């Protein structure tokens, strides 16, 4: 309801109508534009010329009876996962719920609890193992929103964060899947000539975390360099070009994700540029916070509720249960 009210207010403004028309035209254009070598800006084409990820032979994964008993948080609803078929649901009232399953954002809530539920951890491991076997190793459904670069970026980060938090080494077919997903991302970065939004920043967040996880120093160095270029062009005087308080908070979260992951995993990376931009975002974030709640301006992200993201730097707890500080303490 709050999102609807904000949307109506924006539509009553002439600038809001103009923004809607731009969004519609942009959405139509994406049907015809492919993120490929010829559409990459020159500075990114070098990335494609390098053979940065050496793919191992496709592993053989034995059939296994996976166990599930989870209730996961999607964009607009909670979904009970008690059967393998739930990961193949395609019909949702809101397509963001479909993408949320395959982004694995819901894993973070389990990792954000004060005490880990080890039954849930085992079910999450089963979910990841099944997903990687079905969609990557067995190559089912190659063309879908499942493989959109933004969804792929989220999935890469969240799977790695999970295994780091539980201090376990993923199985070989999961490592193989992370290689395949990251290689796919390199070839489908969300940038068209010199035009880009916040998605390209999320793409490189994923590549930085993946390359540090897999000890791919060349990819790590290049990804960090490109990320710095893109955040410099997207953040101006401590504000993002999204012109949205929620996306301002989300971008701050992405940068903090990189910084905390690198620090806790002893990643050798000079992160001064990211620290500087994260600090500028944080200083201006206070302009949108009233009584520990966010004032919504502009677009609203379906990824994470703002109150959950606000647990990054304060002592509040989302739904009396979740704090991102708990997650980061486990890295």
Q: Kindly tell me the sign of the dihedral angle through the C-alpha atoms of 206, 43, 272, 315.
A: negative
Q: Cα separation of 198 and 247, whole Å?
A: 9
Closest CA to 183 of 53, 58, 56: 53
The torsion defined by the Cα of 248, 151, 69 and 91, in degrees rounded to 10, comes to 110
Gyration radius (Cα) of the chain, Å: 19
Q: Which two tokens stand for residue 89?
A: 């649901």
Beta strands in the chain (DSSP E): 70-73, 78-81, 235-236, 239-240, 289-290, 293-294
Q: Cα separation of 5 and 10, whole Å?
A: 9
**50 band by pLDDT with thresholds 50, 70 and 90:** confident
The torsion defined by the Cα of 203, 205, 206 and 207, in degrees rounded to 10, comes to 90
User: HEC profile for 251-306?
Assistant: HHHHHHHHHHHHHHCCCCCCCHHHHHHHHHHHHHHHHHEECCEECCCCCCCCCCCH
Pairing of strands 239-240, 78-81: unpaired
Residue with tokens 């309801």: 1
**207 band by pLDDT with thresholds 50, 70 and 90:** very high
Q: How many CB atoms lie within 10 A of CB 3?
A: 12
Upper half-sphere CA count for residue 300 (Cβ side, 13 Å): 20
Q: How many CB atoms lie within 10 A of CB 131?
A: 21
The mean of the pLDDT values for the chain is 89
Q: Provide the whole-model pTM.
A: 0.89
**63 band by pLDDT with thresholds 50, 70 and 90:** confident
Specify the pLDDT at position 186: 95
> Higher confidence at residue 16 or residue 264?
264
pLDDT digits (tens, 9 = 90+) for 142-161: 778 899 999 999 999 999 99
Helix (H, G, I), strand (E, B) or coil at 68: coil
Specify the pLDDT at position 112: 98
What are the backbone angles phi and psi of residue 80, rounded to the nearest 5°? -85, 125
pLDDT at 268 over 90: no
pLDDT digits (tens, 9 = 90+) for 2-38: 656 666 766 677 666 676 676 566 555 555 555 556 6
| Architecture of the domain spanning 33-329 | Alpha/alpha barrel (1.50)
pLDDT at 52 over 90: yes
Beta bridge partners of 318: 322
pLDDT at 257 over 70: yes
Specify the pLDDT at position 37: 61
Closest CA to 303 of 75, 111, 109: 75
What is each CA distance from 326 to 148, 163, 312, 318, 322, in whole angstroms? 30, 15, 10, 12, 8
What is each CA distance from 262 to 152, 200, 214, 289, in whole angstroms? 21, 19, 13, 28
Specify the pLDDT at position 292: 81
pLDDT digits (tens, 9 = 90+) for 313-325: 988 999 999 999 9
> Higher confidence at residue 252 or residue 86?
252
Q: Kindly tell me the sign of the dihedral angle through the C-alpha atoms of 87, 90, 94, 95.
A: positive
pLDDT digits (tens, 9 = 90+) for 219-244: 999 999 999 999 999 999 999 999 99
**140 band by pLDDT with thresholds 50, 70 and 90:** confident
């Amino acid at each position: 309801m709050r999102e609807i009210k904000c949307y109506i207010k924006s539509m009553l403004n002439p600038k809001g109508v103009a923004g809607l028309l731009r969004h519609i035209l942009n959405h139509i254009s994406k049907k015809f534009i492919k993120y490929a070598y010829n559409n990459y800006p020159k500075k990114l084409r070098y990335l494609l010329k390098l053979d940065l990820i050496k793919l191992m032979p496709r592993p053989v994964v034995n059939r296994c009876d996976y166990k599930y008993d989870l209730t996961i948080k999607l964009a607009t609803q909670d979904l009970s996962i008690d059967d393998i078929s739930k990961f193949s649901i395609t019909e949702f009232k809101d397509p963001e719920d479909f993408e949320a399953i395959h982004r694995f954002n819901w894993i973070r809530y389990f990792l954000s609890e004060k005490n880990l539920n080890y039954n849930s951890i085992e079910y999450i491991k089963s979910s990841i193992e099944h997903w990687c076997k079905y969609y990557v190793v067995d190559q089912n459904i190659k063309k879908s929103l499942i493989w959109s670069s933004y969804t792929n970026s989220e999935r890469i980060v969240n799977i790695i964060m999970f295994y780091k938090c539980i201090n376990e080494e993923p199985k070989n077919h999961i490592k193989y899947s992370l290689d395949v997903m990251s290689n796919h991302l390199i070839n489908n970065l969300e940038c068209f000539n010199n035009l880009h939004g916040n998605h390209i920043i999320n793409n490189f967040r994923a590549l930085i975390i993946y390359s540090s996880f897999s000890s791919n120093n060349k990819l790590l160095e290049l990804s960090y360099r490109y990320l710095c270029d893109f955040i410099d062009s997207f953040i101006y005087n401590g504000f993002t070009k999204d012109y949205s308080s929620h996306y301002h908070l989300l971008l701050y979260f992405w940068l903090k994700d990189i910084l905390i992951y690198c620090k806790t995993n002893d990643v050798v990376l000079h992160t001064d540029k990211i620290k500087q931009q994260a600090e500028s975002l944080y200083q201006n974030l206070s302009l949108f916070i009233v009584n520990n709640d966010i004032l919504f301006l502009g677009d609203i992200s379906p990824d994470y509720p703002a109150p959950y993201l606000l647990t990054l730097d304060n002592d509040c707890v989302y739904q009396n249960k979740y704090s991102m500080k708990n997650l980061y303490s486990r890295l």
